[in-house]
């Protein structure tokens, strides 16, 4: 068992090299730099200059970038600003309209675009927005390319009208939703269906609102759709994978077999069974891994993160499934999977990656892998992960002032050392700066549930005091 104080400063480490890109693209509060229209126009120009030289799609005389977005109201203005910058850089722009992050990744690869971009702040509320880029293969940009874009942001923004083909053209990308629906359906095992399964689907008023129902109905399920009426302001608002209690209520109301909740940009998934019990990413990852092991289809092992519950690691050990941890963030899970040559990894949040199905985390595709395990085995969600004995774990995201460095907080460090001594070898304590928000995430895990709550709450109060 790993013991002591784990410290991860992913955002701060990245910022030593980059000013804008964090662990998951660029993200922040709308109206606060850099989440402003003028920056997105400059970013489009810089990204177009850099990405435009990486790949010219067959049959085109200019690079082409697919731009998608989720359903938040600010997406319209940032879409237009990004589009203007890309066009000025001589890049053709194809607009998909609302499309999930994994949907953009798929279409970028499928349609041989130079790159893809999705305007989204993932699981955050509508007051936030951001952007993620994908390379032509549907993978997120490498650190090297992000660095080049940041360097290009320092160049002067000059549109070249003197050359006939210096400016790009803009078009509407048609059939993106239909192609993505077909892709998702075909990720389900051939010869099986969801016929007879009654499921509630929560789209978080986000980017899956126009595709999720069609996928599950297409496989034969009886679907009750909730939170699929976005108005620009209600994305992730007390719904979706971050707030599964509402889904549990709906499952009980409809007497459904289970419920499935996505986040605003569709890359996370959480399940609820017919009794209203929530199954997070750790449990879903276990269900998929065990099923693949039973089918002799598990390649290598499973990658989790420092936040993965110790109970999952113990369960994998008992059934002889290799398990490795990496830093928090899907980009780090992906990096480790590629380095190991494995296919399966994920996070407790419900961000699950199945590289044999997709190049990135996909909530719908991951949900279908869980459902395949249920259908083929004939067992319930609870039965499939009965061997996981979760260790009590408390997670707190404590807001901090920009620039706050918890490693320089003497009171906080003193308290962590005291809790470390008290825990001995019976638990783990993790402090990390978020890569997407101005918060410090606190995780305390151990055999004594009361102690974990006490320790986590005490550390949160110290951080509150330091940030008044």
Residues with catalytic annotation? 122
Short-list 139, 150, 129, CA closest to 47: 150
Number of CB atoms found within 10 A of residue 418's CB: 12
| CA pseudo-torsion sign 273, 277, 280, 286 | negative
Are 37 and 81 in contact by the 8 Å Cβ rule? The answer is yes
| CA pseudo-torsion sign 74, 79, 82, 85 | negative
Tokens describing residue 121 = 């702040």
Crossing angle, helix 37-51 and helix 75-88, to 10 degrees?
40
Distance CA 436, CA 427 (A): 27
With a CB cutoff of 8 Å and minimum separation 6, the contacts of 336 are 303, 324, 326, 342, 345
Are 102 and 334 in contact by the 8 Å Cβ rule? The answer is no
Are 105 and 359 in contact by the 8 Å Cβ rule? The answer is yes
Q: Distances from the Cα of 43 to the Cαs of 30, 158, 413, in angstroms?
A: 15, 13, 38
Distance CA 77, CA 84 (A): 11
Q: Distances from the Cα of 202 to the Cαs of 40, 127, 198, 263, 407, in angstroms?
A: 31, 21, 14, 9, 39
Q: What letters, b where the CB count within 10 A reaches 16 and e where it falls short, cover 158-173?
A: eeeeeeeeebbeeeeb
Residue 82 three-state SS: helix
Length of the chain: 468
Distance CA 125, CA 214 (A): 25
With a CB cutoff of 8 Å and minimum separation 6, the contacts of 197 are 220, 221, 222, 257, 258, 371, 375
């Amino acid at each position: 068992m790993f013991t002591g104080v784990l410290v991860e400063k992913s955002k701060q480490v990245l910022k030593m090299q980059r000013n804008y890109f964090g662990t998951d693209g660029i993200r922040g509060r709308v109206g606060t730099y850099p989440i402003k229209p003028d920056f997105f126009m400059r970013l489009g120009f810089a990204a177009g200059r850099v990405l435009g030289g990486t790949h010219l799609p067959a049959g085109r005389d200019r690079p082409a970038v697919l731009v998608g977005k989720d359903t938040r109201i600010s997406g319209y203005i940032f879409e237009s600003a990004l589009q203007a910058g890309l066009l000025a850089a001589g890049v053709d722009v194809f607009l998909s309209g609302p499309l999930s992050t994994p949907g953009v990744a798929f279409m970028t690869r499928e349609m041989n675009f130079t790159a893809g971009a999705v305007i989204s702040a993932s699981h955050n509320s509508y007051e936030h927005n951001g952007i993620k880029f994908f390379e032509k293969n549907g993978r997120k940009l490498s650190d090297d390319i992000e660095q080049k874009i940041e360097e290009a942001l320092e160049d002067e923004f000059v549109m070249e009208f003197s050359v006939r083909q210096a400016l790009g053209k803009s078009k509407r990308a048609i059939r993106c939703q239909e192609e993505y629906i077909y892709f998702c359906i075909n990720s389900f095992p051939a010869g099986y269906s969801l016929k007879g399964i009654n499921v509630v689907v929560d789209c978080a008023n986000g980017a899956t609102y126009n595709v999720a129902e069609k996928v599950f109905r297409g496989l034969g399920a009886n679907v009750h759709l909730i939170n699929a009426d976005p108005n620009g302001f209600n994305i992730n608002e007390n719904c979706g994978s971050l707030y599964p209690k509402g889904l549990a209520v709906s499952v009980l109301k409809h007497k459904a077999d289970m419920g499935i909740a996505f986040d605003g940009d569709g890359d996370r998934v959480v399940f609820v069974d017919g009794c209203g019990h929530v199954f997070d990413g750790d449990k879903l990852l276990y269900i998929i891994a065990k099923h693949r092991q039973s089918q002799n289809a598990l390649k290598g092992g499973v990658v989790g993160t420092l936040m993965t519950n110790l109970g999952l690691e113990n369960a994998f050990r008992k059934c002889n499934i290799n398990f490795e941890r990496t830093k928090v963030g899907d980009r780090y899970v992906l990096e480790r999977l590629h380095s190991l040559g494995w296919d399966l990894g994920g996070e407790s949040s419900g961000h699950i990656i199945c590289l044999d199905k997709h190049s990135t985390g996909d909530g719908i595709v991951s949900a279908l892998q869980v459902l395949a395990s249920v259908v083929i085995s004939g067992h319930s969600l609870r039965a499939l992960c009965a061997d996981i004995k979760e260790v009590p774990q408390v997670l707190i995201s404590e807001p901090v002032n920009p620039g706050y460095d918890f490693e320089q907080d003497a009171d906080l460090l003193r308290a962590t050392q005291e809790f470390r001594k008290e825990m001995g070898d019976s638990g783990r304590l993790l402090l990390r700066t978020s890569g997407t928000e101005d918060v410090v995430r606190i995780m305390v895990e151990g055999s004594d549930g009361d102690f974990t709550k006490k320790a986590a709450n005490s550390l949160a109060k110290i951080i509150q005091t330091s940030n008044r």
